[in-house]
Amino acid sequence: VVVATADAERVVVIGVGLLGGAIAAEVRREGIRTLTCSRHPPPEHHASWMPLDVTDADACRRLCDEVAPTVIVLAHGPSSIEWCTANPDAAMGAHLTAAANIVAATDAWLLLASTDNVFPGVKEAYVEDDETEPANAYGRAKLAAERIVTGRGNALVYRISLVYGWQRPGSRDTFFHRTVRTLRRGERLKVPYDQWTTPVVVSDVADAVVRLIGTKPTGMLHLGGPDRVDRVTWARTIAESFSLPSANVVAVASSETQYADRPPNSCLRSTRALSIRALDGFAPRGIRAAACDLRRDENT
């Protein structure tokens, strides 16, 4: 992807975890000036990183005055559904305050990563215009942030399904990585048979973000992978792709797992992606092709 306006852009990525780290790396690869921010230095420490607590309004304003960003990518936590369930007020406070601070501090185009958990998860899949009704505290906090960001305009909210890839140093573990790690140890892995997702590889999301920076569309966009899959089928596909014993994937009810506070369906479809010119030719990978690519990438 070549972003024609690369020289004119100053991109700030807030949050350098699984998603923000991959996005920042991809944007930098395009030669775009990119600053990353988080509260603590990321393990892959880069010269163009600055400390920022996005819930601190003065700090956000200082950063925006100093850097004059053209794009701000909001990819900060709290990202754990389980943590948000245990700390609903703190989760709401963090996402709401962060969105309000950035909206007040800049006129830059904003890109907010959001989630399928803004939906109740009772339908097979959700499109951009579907009615929201958050499934949990995490979904409520992210929906509050969505509303602040879209209310200002000049912003794109992209809801993504479960993101996966190899775990980056300092970032969250992913279902994919945990599956490979556990099966390689020869251990059994309990996986819910009653949860469906449209998982998407983090590098595909980063690719989409770079394309979007080129034209800065606004509004709402869903970014899910092409496969709607239950976790057991997904884990067994990963096992096969890594020549690991799929019999060690044990199907259980989600209530018996760490994924208890998630709806049955975390699935997204897009009615909008095809009309966004920047996404012409963008095709996120399905679970089998991605598992093969990730296996190859591990050895390169």
Ligand X SMILES: NC(=O)c1ccc[n+]([C@@H]2O[C@H](COP(=O)([O-])OP(=O)(O)OC[C@H]3O[C@@H](n4cnc5c(N)ncnc54)[C@H](OP(=O)(O)O)[C@@H]3O)[C@@H](O)[C@H]2O)c1
Site for ligand X in 40-79 (CB under 6 A): 40, 52-55, 75-77, 79
- What kind and span of H or E run contains 9? none
Measured between its terminal Cα atoms, the distance across the chain in Å is 22
Among residues 3, 13, 19, 249, the one that binds ligand X under rule CB under 6 A: 19
Query: Which of 55, 248 has the CB closer to ligand X?
Result: 55
> Whole-number minimum distance, CB 210 to ligand X, in Å?
16
C-alpha span between 283 and 285 (Å, rounded): 6
Nearer to ligand X, 14 or 279 (CB): 14
Instruction: Return the residue nearest ligand X (CB atom).
Output: 17
Length of the chain: 300
Cα separation, 167 vs 176, whole angstroms: 9
Applying CB under 6 A, does 84 fall inside the site for ligand X? no
Interface with ligand X in residues 152-211 (CB under 6 A): 160, 162-163, 171-172
Shortest Å distance, C-beta 9 to ligand X: 21
* DSSP state string for 184-209: HTT--EEEESS-EE--EEHHHHHHHH
CA 47 vs. chain centroid, Å, equals 24
Closest CB to ligand X among residues 137, 244:
137
Nearest to ligand X of 85, 246 (CB atom): 85
Extract the runs of DSSP E, i.e. beta strands, from 17-108: 33-38, 49-51, 71-74
Q: Is 39 in the site for ligand X (CB under 6 A)?
A: yes
Per CB under 6 A, does 15 bind ligand X? yes
Residues 226 and 256: their CA atoms lie apart, in Å, by 28
For 181, other C-beta atoms within 10 Å of its C-beta total 13
Distance separating alpha carbons of residues 268 and 121, to the nearest angstrom: 10
Which 258-297 residues touch ligand X, going by CB under 6 A?
none
What distance lies between CA 72 and its chain's CA centroid? 15
- Contacts to ligand X from residues 96-155, by CB under 6 A: 113, 115, 142
3-state secondary structure at position 248: helix
Shortest distance (Å) from residue 80 CB to ligand X: 7
Q: Which is nearer to ligand X, 27 or 187 (CB)?
A: 27
Nearer to ligand X among residue 78 and residue 264 (C-beta): 78
Query: How many binding residues for ligand X (CB under 6 A)?
Result: 27
C-alpha 138/C-alpha 91 separation (Å) is: 7
Applying CB under 6 A, the residues found at the interface with ligand X are 14-20, 38-40, 52-55, 75-77, 79, 94, 113, 115, 142, 160, 162-163, 171-172
